[in-house]
Amino acid sequence: MSAAAPGRTWRQRLARWGGEVRRNPTIMAISAEGFLTRLGFGMVGFALPLFALHLGMSLAEVGGLYALHGVTVLAVKPLMGWAADRFGSKRTLVLAVAMRCTVGLLFVFASLPWHLYAIRVLQGVMTAARDPSASALIAVHGNRKSMASAFAWYYTARDVGHSLGAAAAGLLIAATGSYQAVFVLAFVSSCVALVSVVRYVREAPAKAHADAASAAPVRPMPSFREAYVPLLPYFGFGLLVAVTAEMMRGIFPIVAVHYGHLTVAQAGIAASASSIAILGAGPAFAWLSDNIHRSVGLTARSVANAGSSLLYIFAPGFAGFVAGRMLDDAGKAAFRPSWGATLAELADAHPERRARVMAFLDLAWNLGEIAGPLLAGVLMTAAGVPVMLALRAGLSVVAEGWAIALYRGKARG
C-alpha cells in the first residue's frame, strides 16, 4: 500500500461524513445547540450555588433551588411531550431554546433570593419543552443500527460544553468577582444556539415524509396501561441511577471548596477536566452499546457514581477531586447515549406518541433531580459530606444490580 493510501482513506471517510451531514443536518444542529447552550448554562450551573450563598441563602435553600427546577420539569414535561407530538418537535425545540435565551438574560438582573426561585421555575418549563423534542428528533433522524452513537454526538457535545462552561465560570469569577459577567455570556451562547436550531433542524428526514405518504392506516391508539405499564421497570432503574447521579448536582462547587478545600478557580478546573474523559467515554461506550450489549453503557454510570464518591471521601484534595469528577462525568457520558437509545427503541413501539413515551421515561431523571439534591442537602446538614457520599456509593451498587437483572439475556441494541 502506498504512503498516500491512508490519507486517501481518511479523506474519503471525511467526505462521506460531510455528505451525510449535508443530507441530514438535524443531529449535528441539535448537537451544536446542546454544546452552545450547555456551555452557557454550565457557567450558570457552576455560578448559581455560589451566587445563591452570596445572596444569603443556606445550603438547604440551595438544594431546594435545584429541587424546584426538577418539580417544575416533572409537572410540565408530560404536557410538552404531548405538544411535541401534536405540533411538531422542531417547533417545541425552538420555543425551548428561545426560553433559554430569556432565562440567561433574567439571571443578569437577579439580585434577591426570590428572583432565583422564579427564574428556576421558568428554566424548568424550558427544560421540559426541550428534552422530549430533542430526543424525539434524534430518534427519528438517527440510524437504527447506531442509535446510541447518534445520541452520543448529542450528549458528548452537551457534556463537553457543560464542563468547559464550569471552567470558564470559575476563572471568570476568580478574575472579576462578577457573577453578572457569567450570566451575560450564558445569554449570548443561547442566542447563537437558537440560530442553529431555526436554520438547520428539520422535523423529519425527506425519506420519512415519503414513507408516511404511502404508509398503511395507523393502528388504534393503545390504552395508557398497554403503553406505559411495561415501561415501569425501566422507569424505576432510571430513577435510581438519577438519584445517585444528581446528588452531586449543583453542590460540587460547594463540596470542592468547603470539604476539599479547593479554591473557586481550582474547583472550576476540576469540573472542566472531565471534558477529556467525556470525549473518549461517550463515543466508545456508544459503540459498545450498539455492537456488543446495551447494558454496557448503562452499568458504567453506577460504577462511576460509586468510584467517584469514594475518591471524594478518601482523597479530598485537588488531585482527588479532578479524578473523581473525571470518573463521574465519564460514567455520565457512557450512560446517556445508551439510555437515549433505549428510550428510542421503546418509543418505536408507539410512534404516534413517540415524544410522550420518551418524556415519560425521562421523567425518572427529573424525579432524581428532585430527590438527589434534597437528599444530599439534608445528609450534608445532618451528618456531613462523608456520610452523604457513602450513601451515594451504596445506592450505586444497588443500581448496578438492577441494570444487570433488567438487561440479562437481551441482545445487543
Domain coverage including residue 295: 27-201+224-407
The pLDDT, as a whole number, for residue 275 is 66
Number of structural domains, the chain? 1
pTM equals 0.71
Task: Report yes or no: 25 and 202 within 8 Å, Cβ to Cβ.
Answer: yes
Q: What is the pLDDT of residues 81-90, one digit of tens each?
A: 888 888 888 8
The reply to whether 7 falls in a domain is: no
Does residue 305 form part of some domain?
Answer: yes
Instruction: Output the nine-digit C-alpha cell for 269.
Output: 478546573
Is residue 52 situated within a structural domain? yes
Cell of 125: 418549563
320 domain residue, yes or no? yes
Query: Cα–Cα distance between 62 and 15 in angstroms, integer?
Result: 49
Question: 94 or 297: whose pLDDT is higher?
Answer: 94
The Cα-based distances of 231 to 12, 58, 210, 289, 381 in angstroms read: 42, 38, 31, 20, 36
State the CB neighbour count (10 A cutoff) for residue 339: 28
CA atoms of 81 and 64, how far apart (whole Å): 25
pLDDT greater than 70 at residue 213: no
Mean pLDDT of 50-61: 83
207 in a structural domain: no
Burial 232-269 (b: 16+ CB within 10 A, else e): eebeebbbbbbbbbbbbbbbbbbbbbebbebebebbbb
Higher pLDDT, 213 or 95: 95
pLDDT at residue 264, rounded to an integer:
80
pLDDT for res 150: 79
**Looking at the domain assignment, is residue 234 inside a domain?**
yes
Average pLDDT score over the chain: 79
pLDDT of residue 74: 83
What angle separates helix 26-54 from helix 179-200, to the nearest 10 degrees?
A: 160
Q: Please determine, for residue 227, whether its predicted confidence score (pLDDT) is greater than 80.
A: no
Kindly report the CATH number assigned to the domain that includes residue 388: 1.20.1250.20
Tell me the average pLDDT across 261-282. Answer: 75
CB-based contact 137:30 (threshold 8 Å): yes
Closest CA to 248 of 61, 69, 383, 375: 375
Is residue 194 in a domain? yes
C-alpha span between 274 and 283 (Å, rounded): 15
